[in-house]
Each structure stands twice: as C-alpha cells, then as structure tokens.
Structure 1
Amino acid sequence: MNTSVQTGQLQKRLGLPFAIAVCVGLVVGTGIMRAPGEIANMVPDPTVVMLLWLAGGLYVILMANVAAEISSAIPRSGGHYIPVHEGLGDSMGLLVGWTMWVVGVAASAFLSLAAAEFLGTLVPWVADHGPTVAVLFLLGVTALNWAGVEEGRWAQIGSTGLKIALLLAVVGVALAMPAGKAAGEIETAPLVAEPLTILTVLAGLQFVVAVYDGWYASIYFAGEDKDPGRNIPRSLFQSAIIVILIYLAVNWALIRALDFAVLRASTLPMATVIEAATGRWGSIIVALVAVLMALGTLNAVVMSNPRALYGMAEDGLFLKSALKVNRGGTPTFALALGTVLAIPLIYSGGYVFVFRLAGAMVLFGSCLFVLSYFALRKHRPDLTRPYRARGHPVLPALVLLINLALLISFVIAEPISGAIMAGMIAICIPVGFHLDREKRRLTATPV
C-alpha cells in the first residue's frame, strides 16, 4: 500500500505559535510599506489617519469575535467556506469558497512579482526577467510547502518573527530621529486642506481594512490544530493585538519622522526614513526588507489557500482529488492547482483585475461569514461552542452593518466590480441548488 498519499486526512500538527504567526504573517506584508502614504493622501489629517488605523484594528477585533466562535465550533480546515456552508447552504458556501480561493491565487501571483520587482532594484538581471524570477519564487515556496506542513510551519514562524523585528527596528530608527528629520530637503507641493466627508473617510477605512486583510488565516487550519477550541480564538485575538500595535507604531513613527506633506507624497515612506538613517545603504536595506515581506506573506498564502479547495471537496463541491494529502500533511493536488493557475497570471498581469474585483468579493464574503454566525446560532443552538462571541447580538450585528456599508460604498466607487460580483452570485446560486438536490437524491436512493 502506498502510504505517501492519504485521502482526506489532514494531520493535527499545528499549535498556537503557528496560528499566530500565520495570521500576523498574512497581514503584515508589502502593503504596510506603501499604505501609510496612500492613506495620508486620501485623508489629509494626521489625527484622522491614526484614528482610521485604530478603527481598522477595532474592525478586525469585531470580526475575530465572530470568527472565534464559529471556527472553533466547527474545527475543519477550509476557512470562510466552512461556517458559510454549514449555516447558509451549498450556494453561498460555494460562492465564498471559490471567491477566497481565487483571491489567494491572485495574491500568489502579485506577491511573487512584488518579491521579484524589489529584488530587481538590486540585481539588474532580475529586473530584466521579473516574471521568470517571480515564477521561480512561487515554485520555491510551493516546493517548500509540498515537502510538508512542518517545513511550512517553521518557515512561517521564522519569517513572521523576522518581519516584526525589522518593522520594530524601523520604528525605533524613526523615533530616534528629530521630528521631521527624515524629510530632509525633499520638496513637495503645499498641503491642501481638503474637507473630510463620510465618503472620504469610508474610502480611507476601506483601504485600511484591505491592509489588515489576512487576520483570519488561522481558521484555514482549524482541522489541523491540536487544540482548535483554545488556539483558534487565542490566535485571532492575540495576532490582532500584535498587528494593531505594529501598524499604529509604524504610522506614528512615520508621521513624526516625516513632514506630513512628504508622507502624503511618498509611495514608500519607510524607504525615505531608512535612507535618511543609513545613507547609501538605504536602498539595499529597503529592497531586502521588501523581498522578505513579500516572501513571508507568499508562504502564508501558498500554505493556506489549498485548504479552501480541500474543505469544498470534503462536501462534494470540488474534485475529490483535492483531498489527496501527502505524508507531510500537504494537500498536494490543491497546492499544485493554485500554483499552476497563478503562473499565467504572473505573465499576463491579470491579477490586477482579479484584485480589483476581490475588494468587493472579500467584503461580500465577510457579510456572508457574519450572517452564517447568526444562522448557526438560530439553527444549531446546541452546537458545542468553546468560545462564545461577546456582546451577542449587538457586536456581531454592528460588524455586519460595517461590512455592508463598506461593500455598498465600494460598489458605488467600482460599479464594474459590483456587476461582476452580481454575476458570480447569479451563477453560484443555481449551481448550489443543483448540488443540494443531487445530494438529497443520492441520500434518498436506497442502496
């Protein structure tokens, strides 16, 4: 008998350190290097900027409050798909599962290219062959995770720890400088005081929420955690606190070290600070930090994304091949499929379109995720819940309204994405109903 392949048997090898590392590692990536300047430009008031970063963190905690209950109560690997399928049925489960998986494939392409582009600033040959180097990065991370969960786990813990250390070092350097010192002699256009409106604040919050995206990573591994009832809630809340503190510290340090007008105009404000502190070594340090950020996040995506297909395959909503697990505990077919589909995206640039669509789809998925919480509370009241959401039903209802507000404002700003999202919903609903009827027919057919 071939023991290298097991069908439908993920292994309980993971614990709290990995669960925290994968959440923090998926959130903290290259986004935090660019986002401070973008947010400052959208909402040109330093106090409001800091409040938005804090509000984004509070949003994550409200979502974690919901996720901690439903993902620890149904500890299966598969992420958002699992509670949505259990609470809202095949159609919505299929929609959320496919959406989050496609987003993961696009993220794999984007992060691989980002790592190659940053390395290309140091090595001219890499700059001339960016897509090819990006594919090599992606294949390398895929091979690491193909070897097994243990290898991916240690890579994630190590890369996340190093990312945190580097960011804290940047914060320390920025705070050690005299206020405004990093701005140097950089000339900028005069700061125009633009009126703050609800729409501009919502747009800024959308951007901040996107930079916090990935906070939920540990729920994708719930079926592989040694003690999911304790570790999933703890990982969600502890990682949220870590990321909030890091993001607030980074933005506070950048606002202090740079003139606010310089921050608004900067695409890579961290680079400005590092170069001011280290001189000619600054660009090298920035590039290496950025490559590490991208690769650490890429490992988290490559490791978690196959679990979405695995969860759907368990329920008959995807090919049974996705249930093939090797001796190292990796769903090999699902892992390979994501990598194979990411490669043409790398060469085509199609991930940009997918990411624009993903903004609406992830918010829509978050709405269904919270709705599944209410559905499970109503239809499965006797379900064992190691963690019960605080403030029920007010706090879960509040975060549902926040998601709806963000989704509506996003669709208003991106009507094409909204139309495509509606089309995907229209396709998934009849497919889900058909699959549900087939399951009932097979169950009713006597053997």
Structure 2
Amino acid sequence: MSETKKNQLKKSLGLSFNIAVLIGSTIGVGILRTPGAIAGMLDNYWLIISCWIFGGIYILIGVNSYAELATMLPKAGGSYNYIKRAFGEYAGFLSGWYDYITNAIPPAFYCIVISEYVIILFPRLENNATAIALSFLLAFLFLHITGVKSGSIIQQLTSVIKVVFFAALIVACFIYSGIQLPPIEKHSSFFEIGILFGFFKSLQLIIGTYDGWYSVSFFAEEDENPSKNIPKSLYIGAILVILIYVLLNMAFFHVLPVASLANSPLAAADVAKVVFGKNGAVIVTVIAIFSLISILNAFMMIPARILFGLSRDGFFIQKGMTVNKGGTPIVALLVSSLFSLVLICIGSFEVLFSFGTFMSVIVWGLAYCSLIKLRSKEPDLPRPYRSRWYPWSTLIAIMATLGLLIGFVYSDTKNFLIILIITFISYPLFLLINRTNKKE
C-alpha cells in the first residue's frame, strides 16, 4: 500500500494553475521574434494577420478535442495516453517519446536564451553565459524538488506578470500616433510557389509559437476537479493567447510597416525603439526574461509528467514513477534536468529543437484520430466533456493537421527525414523493451 501511495501524484492543482501553465508554456520569446521572419516570407499585412488567426482557429479546434480526451482519461503524460488506449502499445510508446523529446529539449534552450538576455542587460557577464544558464536550471530544479505547490505559485505569478507586460506593450503600440491599419502591400497571387512556400513556413513558425496550448493535459492527474477545470482552462487560456498574438502583430505593424520589420531577428525590439526611444530594447529584454522564466518553470514540470507516465506503462525505468513528499515525480525530474544540463554544456540542441513543431503536430493528429477511434471502440467510457460538433470538428482537426504536415514536408524536408529515422529506430527498441518487461 505504501508503494502505491509513493507512486501517486497529488491532486493539488486547479483552474488558476491550469490557465497559468497554458499561458506560461505557450507565450515565450517566439512571439517577439517570429513576426520579423514571417514578414520577410509573406510581405503582406492581411496575409500575415490571417495566418495568425488561422493558427488560432486550428488551436481552438484542437482544444475542443483535447477537452474530451483529457477529461475522459485524466492521466499524467497527456496525449500518449489517449493514443495508446486507442491504437495500442507501440503507438503509445512512439507518441510518448515523440512528446517527451519535444518537451525535454526546451528547458536547455530557454536557460541559454535567458542567459543571453541577462548579458544584454549586464554586458560584463559576457563570459559567463553557460554558468548563468546552468544556474537558472539548478535554481528551478531545486524549486521543483520542494514540491508541486512551489512550482504552481511561481507559474501563476509569472504568467500574470507576463500577460500584464504584453498587454501594456500592445496598448503602447496602438497609442503611438493613433490606430491606422496599413494597406495591403503586395498583390501577388497566393498560389505563386514562393507565397505558398512562405505560407507553410510561416504556419510552421506560428504553430510552433502556439505550441504549449495543450499543456493542461499533462497535469490532468493532479487536478482536483479535472472534469470541470480542464475544459474551462483550455478554452480560456487558448483564447487569451490567440488575442495576445493577433493583437501584438497588429500593434507591431501599426508602428512599423511590414517591409521595415521583414527579417528582423527581434521585431519587438525594433518596434519598442520607435515607441519608447533608446530604452525600448531594455523594456523588450525585461519582457523577454519574464516570459522565459514563466515558460522555463512550465517546461521543468511537463517532461517529468510525461516520463512518469511512460515509466508507469513500462516504457521507461520503474524508478521513474517515484514521487516525493511534495508531489514531484522526483526521478523523472532529475533525469530530464540531467538531459537539459548536458544539452546546455554541449550546446548542440538547436537541430533537435527545430523539429519540435513537426513532432508536436504528428502527436496532435494521432490524438484527434484516437478520439474518433475511442468513440467507436469504447462508447460507454465516461466522458465528462463531449467534443462539440463531433465528428465534424474532429474531422476538420485531422484534415487541417494532415494539410499542415504535407506543407511541412514540402517546406522542411530535412526535419521530416530526421523524424523518419527516429521512427524507424523506435520499433526494434520498443520490441526490446517489451521483451525485457515480460522477463521481469
């Protein structure tokens, strides 16, 4: 009995944490950087805004499906639980490790980017970038070792500060010389190869910037009332993120035209310099640091939950199920943190990080398919929330996901090949793990 208690996550999280972790794990520096890259590819105000709205609609359709899945199977680890239940052990194993890789790489990336922004504020620390990155990783590791409550408080606090900062930036941009939407700047046919390529590359960046919208599902097992809290938090959090992203893009292009922001490495800084003067870059740097601290806190928690779930299903070591007195899956947290530490030291994670969006979209697509499969396979399974406009909403989600994947394959062949190699290697590894589990 004590062993069972030891390996159980505590039900100590609620609605406010769920909304905070969705916002915290979604809004990062991506929204401060991507508008410049997208402006360089599309060069058309209305097409750019439409792209962000399209991404938001896609996310809302996904929320509709995930609200049913996460309340139907409120288990740690999120997506792979639904895929495993619908399509079997190997599908669960593959999607689980896809999801883990996607979510275990970001902490190292965020620690390094935080260190870069700290150095912008304090140039004398230039030679200590790795030490600063490791300090942030260790600080958040010790914070989460103390328990889930500490991580929850920090998540809620930093997410509120983040939303306030972004809202203030949006208002400041629109106040600047009055609101005036720029005209359409280009009349190229959408179906030109260059525009089509740019559209899918832009969507890949945008979907990547929205990535994190489903993070509530990773904590479903720890929610005090998942049936009520998960659907509410998914919708509220997603709508808030979409509003911030669309309004921020409109605000940026209100201050500077598309052509001026095209290919800017940090569009927010260029806009802030115009609005706030020479202190603009400092203001954006502070916003970026708070955004990153919030997202780092969320991503210190997420991979550990996936690894905990994988361990429980025999897809990782049994010790990965160990939970400390504070409710933290401690071994899973330490393994994930060690992975991040190695990546920070070698600094070669960027290639892996670049195909995170690709992997995420594959997992989402499989999750949507699992919703349809489970409706027919297990119609009597308790469903506290039922997906609205089913099956049409789920079919639209699947078709949109398939369209995105085809577009990503077309515009990002290199990462597609990497994912194929990982998938090819995964099956013999799955068979080996299965054989080992049967012997035990």
The TM-score normalised by the length of structure 2 is 0.93
SS in 1 for 2:323: strand
SS in 1 for 2:105: helix
Cα distance, 1:226–1:261 mapped onto 2, change above 3 Å: same
Q: Tell me by how many angstroms 1:193 deviates.
A: 6.3
Pairs within 5 Å for 1:197-276: 197=191, 198-276=196-274
Q: Does 1:65 align with 2:64?
A: yes
Cα distance in 2 for partners of 1:434, 1:237 equals 41
Q: Does 1:196 align with 2:190?
A: yes
Q: Tell me by how many angstroms 1:346 deviates.
A: 1.4
Pairs within 5 Å for 1:408-427: 408-427=406-425
Cα distance in 2 for partners of 1:150, 1:120 equals 31
Cα distance, 1:383–1:180 mapped onto 2, change above 3 Å: closer
Cα distance, 1:33–1:432 mapped onto 2, change above 3 Å: same
**Structure 1 contact 6–326 (Cα < 8 Å) conserved:** no
More moved, 429-438 vs 157-166: 429-438
Cα distance in 2 for partners of 1:154, 1:395 equals 35
Q: Does 1:32 align with 2:31?
A: yes
**Structure 1 contact 44–194 (Cα < 8 Å) conserved:** no
Cα distance in 2 for partners of 1:441, 1:303 equals 32
**Structure 1 contact 106–354 (Cα < 8 Å) conserved:** yes
- Equivalent residue number for residue 392 of structure 1: 390
Q: Tell me by how many angstroms 1:395 deviates.
A: 1.4
Q: Tell me by how many angstroms 1:240 deviates.
A: 0.8
Which residues of structure 1 form unaligned runs of 5+? 182-190, 443-447
Amino acid paired to 1:125: R
Cα distance in 2 for partners of 1:419, 1:313 equals 28
Cα distance in 2 for partners of 1:138, 1:416 equals 30
Pairs within 5 Å for 1:16-415: 16-178=15-177, 195-197=189-191, 198-415=196-413
- Equivalent residue number for residue 188 of structure 1: none
The alignment's C-alpha RMSD in Å is 2.3
Deviations 1:245-266 (A, max 9, x none): 1111111111111122112242
Cα distance, 1:110–1:137 mapped onto 2, change above 3 Å: same
Cα distance, 1:397–1:429 mapped onto 2, change above 3 Å: farther
Cα distance in 1 for partners of 2:178, 2:346 equals 44
Cα distance, 1:295–1:194 mapped onto 2, change above 3 Å: farther
Q: Tell me by how many angstroms 1:180 deviates.
A: 9.3
Amino acid paired to 2:166: L
More moved, 170-179 vs 269-278: 269-278
**Structure 1 contact 229–386 (Cα < 8 Å) conserved:** yes
Which residues of structure 2 form unaligned runs of 5+? none
**Structure 1 contact 170–270 (Cα < 8 Å) conserved:** no
Amino acid paired to 1:365: V
Q: Percent of counterpart pairs with the same letter? A: 32
Cα distance in 2 for partners of 1:412, 1:145 equals 41
**Structure 1 contact 180–259 (Cα < 8 Å) conserved:** no
Q: Tell me by how many angstroms 1:434 deviates.
A: 6.0
**Structure 1 contact 60–215 (Cα < 8 Å) conserved:** yes
**Structure 1 contact 142–339 (Cα < 8 Å) conserved:** yes
Amino acid paired to 2:384: P
**Structure 1 contact 79–308 (Cα < 8 Å) conserved:** yes
Q: Tell me by how many angstroms 1:117 deviates.
A: 0.4
Cα distance, 1:180–1:120 mapped onto 2, change above 3 Å: farther
Q: Tell me by how many angstroms 1:75 deviates.
A: 0.7
Deviations 1:82-123 (A, max 9, x none): 111111111111111111111222101111111100111111
SS in 2 for 1:75: coil
More moved, 222-231 vs 197-206: 197-206
Cα distance in 2 for partners of 1:310, 1:58 equals 32
